[in-house]
């Protein structure tokens, strides 16, 4: 399952826009929509790419290669691990934009956690398996 759009994250007070981009075609379409120079689609398993326009950060697009999906479906812990890794890169970009050189450890940890959760939700919305209906435990249902 791949949706035909990016999923923009709620980054709260961070001064950056972040999105999960589920495919190369959508990557190209979103770059065009935002008026960004077209960067090659990342060939890494996962990547957080900063886009700038006129020298200012416009957006960070996070990608996970589609051919990695079967591996991550079998190992969801690894999926969350790679999304946490990309969340750290998003955090590093946010710190650079805020000119924050020494954020508190708790602020850093909670923010990375929030970004990682948002990325995981975006991944599931665009590429994750549909949740299975739960069977009722009551008799007769």
Q: What are the pLDDT digits (tens) for 27-59?
A: 999 888 888 888 899 988 999 999 887 777 778
> Looking at residue 131, what is its pLDDT?
44
Domain assignment present for residue 51? The answer is yes
**Whole-prediction pTM:** 0.84
pLDDT tens profile 7-30: 999 988 899 999 999 999 999 998
Q: Per the structure block, which two tokens stand in for 121? A: 């939700």
Please give the Cα distance from 85 to 88 (Å, whole number). Answer: 5
- Tell me whether residue 137 is in a domain: no
Instruction: Tell me phi and psi for residue 59, to 5 degrees.
Output: -165, 160
Quick check: 65 and 79 in contact, CB under 8 A?
no
In a domain, 2, yes or no: no
Decide if 38 is inside a domain. yes
Full domain range(s) for residue 113: 7-126
> How many structural domains does the chain have?
1
């Amino acid at each position: 399952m791949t949706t035909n759009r990016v999923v923009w994250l709620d980054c709260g007070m961070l001064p950056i826009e972040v999105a999960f981009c589920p495919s190369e075609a959508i990557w190209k379409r979103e770059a065009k929509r935002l008026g960004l120079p077209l960067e090659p689609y990342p060939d890494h398993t996962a990547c957080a790419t900063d886009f700038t326009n006129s020298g200012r950060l416009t957006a960070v697009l996070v990608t996970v290669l589609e051919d990695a999906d079967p591996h991550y479906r079998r190992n969801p812990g690894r999926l969350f691990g790679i999304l946490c890794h990309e969340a750290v890169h998003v955090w590093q970009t946010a710190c650079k934009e805020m000119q924050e050189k020494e954020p508190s450890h708790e602020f850093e940890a909670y923010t990375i956690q929030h970004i990682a959760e948002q990325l995981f939700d975006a991944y599931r919305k665009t590429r994750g398996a549909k949740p299975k209906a739960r069977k009722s435990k009551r008799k007769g249902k």
